[in-house]
Each structure stands twice: as C-alpha cells, then as structure tokens.
Amino acid sequence: MSDDAERSLFAAPPIAEQERMVEAILFATAEPVTVAELEARMPHGCDPAEALVYLRRRYEGRGVNVVKVGDGWAFRTAPDLGYLMQKETVETRKLSRAAIETLAIIAYHQPCTRAEIEEIRGVAVSRGTIDQLLEMEWIRFGRRRMTPGRPVTFVVTEPFLDHFGLESARDLPGLKELRAAGLLDNRPMPGGMGAPRDEEEAEDVTGQSELFED
C-alpha cells in the first residue's frame, strides 16, 4: 500500500520504459550490473528486477541473451553463434593441468585452503599456480579459517562465473552428484596421519553451505 502510494508520488516511468532503460544500461557495459546498481542509475521509483523479467523474456532465443552472473546481469551473445565470432575470440593463456585442477578444487570445495588443495591433489601447489589464478581474477582470497595458523582460503570470483557462463557457484556441473557421493567431504585420514584438523573440518561444512545454499 505505502509502496504504491510512494510510487504514484514519484511517478515511476511505465514498466516498458524501465525495460528500455535496463536494456540500455546492460548493453552499454561489458561487466555484469547488479539490480542495486541499476536502481541507483534509474529514476526514483523504478523496479529494475521486474523490468529484468520482461527483458530476459524478450531476448530469449535471440542472438544476444540476458544472463545472470553472480549478483549481476549482462548481455552475452548466444553460445551457438560463437563460430561467427572468430575475429573476437580472445586467446586465453593456456592453463596448465595443475592450474585447471586447482581451479576446479577451489570452485567445488570453496572456501578452500592451500593445504586442502594439496591434500586432494596429493602434491604441493606451486606459488605460481595460485598467483596465475589470482591474476586472472578467477579466484580471490576468502575469509581466513579460524583454525590454528588462521590459513587463508580461496573462493571463485564473479569473473570466473562470467567466464564459464555460470549463474552461481551452485550451478557448477555435477556439484549435486559429487556432494551426494560424499566426494566433497573433507574426510580425514584415519589415525591422523596427514589428517585435516577436526575444527577446520567442522567449519568447512558451514563455510561451504553458506556459499552454496540459499
């Protein structure tokens, strides 16, 4: 009620007009734009979330689509037309096998410490691998673990989601199956040889659910 009253007071533009605005803003930038940013840039009283629903529908099946990336929204060309874009193709630096695996481990286990990556791969993670992924802005530092040594954790970023066309880390391929199979558990080595610390484990579970649920 009060919301309606406010709206009429400020005479927000009609929704079709708001849709045009969102269209213009998303078209103009290469980076995903959040609803909050849209709201800040649009006239008072606008509802960009609603406008986005219409806009998304309008571009379904078109040559460009409205996609969600993390908290943001962006236009991206339809993947089936990638072959037309040879000229635009960006040669990405070839990632080493170690880098790809490290990235996948961080994505699926985030937040994830270096020690955990090493335990899963069974081999030391070289400084350069982490540096490379940080530099590409595909991973970033997460919160420190509240365990002895307060190790840093790594999480994946919005540019990572953007690059792989993921709405969120929850949409990682096969995530549900892996979790159901217990393969994302931080299972300690029985008897403690090289085993992860118990507290860390407990926190891990909450840390992960925080990121993936909701």
Q: Which residues bind other proteins (CB under 8 A)?
A: 24, 27-31, 41, 74-79, 82, 85-95, 97-101, 103-105, 107-108, 119-124, 132, 136, 162-166, 172-175, 178-179, 181, 183-187, 189-191, 193-194, 196-197, 200, 204
Q: Which stretch binds a copy of itself (CB under 8 A): 3-11, 60-68, 112-120, 195-203?
A: 60-68
- Nearest one of 45, 79, 38 to 62, comparing CA atoms: 79
Is 179 a residue that touches a copy of itself (CB under 8 A)?
Answer: no
Q: Report the C-alpha gap between 51 and 38 in whole angstroms.
A: 10
- Residue 113: beta bridge partners? 153
Instruction: Provide, rounded to whole angstroms, the least separation between the CB of residue 9 and other proteins.
Output: 26
Query: Shortest approach of a copy of itself to residue 99 CB, angstroms?
Result: 27
Sequence-ordered alpha helix ranges (H) in the chain: 2-10, 15-28, 35-41, 48-58, 97-109, 114-121, 127-135, 158-163, 175-180, 198-212
Nearest-angstrom CA–CA distance, 172 and 164: 9
Q: What CA–CA distance (Å, rounded) separates 8 from 26?
A: 26
Among other proteins, a copy of itself, none, the one that 90 touches (CB under a kind-dependent 5 to 8 A) is other proteins
From the list a copy of itself, other proteins, none, which binds 22 (C-beta under 5 to 8 Å, kind-based)? a copy of itself
One character per residue 3-42, x = contact with a copy of itself (rule: CB under 8 A): ----------------xxxxxxx-xxxx----------xx
CA 111 to chain centre: 13
Write the Ramachandran bin of 23: left for phi over 0, alpha for psi from -120 to 50, otherwise beta.
Answer: alpha
| Interface positions with a copy of itself (CB under 8 A) | 19-25, 27-30, 41-42, 61-64, 75, 77-78, 81, 84-88
